[in-house]
A and B are shown apart, each in its own frame.
Chain A
């Protein structure tokens, strides 16, 4: 059974239809690419899955459970975590504190136990998870730096670390390669594969075709809010309709 099943999802904003009957499914431990030209509805799709939007119609099932319309923090508790476009971090917190927030589900605590220190065991477990994640992402040396002071590559790694610290089953990555140089792209690709290898299923929205073709096992192509094509990277690359959508109807 697929881990994530999106069926017939439509999202309208007033008169504008951003998504129109979109269906696709993501298998366990896959890297699944969601690509398409600007404005195709990729980010809108993400926001529907992560609970930031509620679909107008259709259903989104995660591990067999309906999740459409639930709040973001509920969906996160089920194991679906998203990362954000551009670099979204807690800029004024340290790297360690950033990842600490990522362990919220594991480490959350009440006011009284926080005051009395009754949650020490829990916090120790969360902290161990933080150190493990920092090590995994190669950020241990930078743990006391402010997030805003990191170079771009490390900031993206940190964004990934925050998500990973919450022990997700499914990670939705929104353009993690945007604005990176080839060296940073390669490093980020390695990290993404590492995350997959640790058992996390990944859905990737990305424009960088080198990263998409290199990482994804399966692709869904969106155009004007509808599924244009799907298949393996090789299939999609040779699909006439995809070429036309990307190159802009060269026609005859």
Chain B
């Protein structure tokens, strides 16, 4: 509790010490935290999808269209974007959840590309490759949310609420059942678990939250294009989750934050940035199979400090 209070106090004063473009980065990083945490929910049942980035785009396009075509304020576009994204995910459950593992992974990628190409081809509605522009955050009295600091506070509030909800779900019986399906679906079914229903629930709920993340992004950035949410961004989500670690709730959050700071710090080596990034991914898989979250336990093993039996696997749970 004290830790959380300190963390929030830190986050509230943080933007005041940052340069303008770092304030932007802070907002996008906060949104990306929601993207990876919602992805974690999707992966709880053991099915890794490649459609999550596109689902974030669905949220962004929905919010943009509601703002531009129906003149809706952000207070309505954001929750509606979540609901629309969830509804599309639900429809996709019917074909996608007939498959598992590798087949599911590839099919989810194909479904995502179909959606993305719809944005590219239907120029009249989605603006083609140029996407949609002119989306704005609201102005409330004296506060203009186009300023990074108020928008950051708003984002922080939305993401905190979403993270709390995601955490509650994971720690509840619903989360336990999803874990159980991951480890042994037939055993779970034999004691009455409807595995399809829980796989669908994970995909739909995860998509709801990433839809909100997409909507939050478009209202600050002002524009949305199909390429923003392609396989490139999906790979980033995967890297954040894998490097951060996916055995606990905090892992992906650590992954986003550490890698974003790292990425910023190597900004001056523009040409070799992707190479460095790739090297970090490979090294982390080799030496930190449990991700950054497993680092303290690993250090204890490497340096023989404290409890010698501290196995990263045991410190979880």
Contact = CB atoms under 8 A, between A and B. Distances in A.
Contacts of B190: 50, 72, 76, 81-84, 163
B168 interface: yes
B173 interface: yes
A119 interface: yes
A162 B186 CA distance: 13
Contacts of B186: 52, 72, 84, 88
Interface residues of A, number: 39
Interface string B274-310: 0000000000000000000000000000000000000
A104 B184 contact: no
Contact of B191 (A52, A94, A123, A166): A166
Interface residues on B, range: 20 to 34
Given A81-B190, A81-B191, A114 B184 contact: no
Interface in B162-198: 165, 168-169, 172-174, 176-177, 179-180, 183-184, 186-195
Interface string B58-102: 000000000000000000000000000000000000000000000
A104 B187 contact: no
B38 to A, nearest CB: 14
Contacts of A72: 186, 189-190
Nearest to B167: A115
Contacts of B174: 109-111, 114
- Chain B interface mostly: helix
B54 interface: no
B30 interface: no
A245 interface: no
Contacts, number: 98
Interface in A143-174: 146, 162-163, 165-166
A162 B168 contact: no
Given A111-B169, A115-B172, A84 B187 contact: yes
A93 interface: yes
Contact of A92 (B169, B176, B183, B205): B183
A97 B173 CA distance: 10
A101 interface: yes
A90 interface: yes
Interface of A: 50, 52, 71-73, 76-77, 81-84, 88-94, 97, 100-102, 104-105, 107-111, 114-115, 119, 123, 126, 146, 162-163, 165-166
Given A105-B191, A162-B191, 15 more contacts: A73-B193, A73-B195, A76-B192, A84-B186, A84-B187, A89-B187, A90-B188, A91-B183, A102-B191, A104-B177, A104-B191, A119-B173, A126-B173, A163-B190, A165-B191
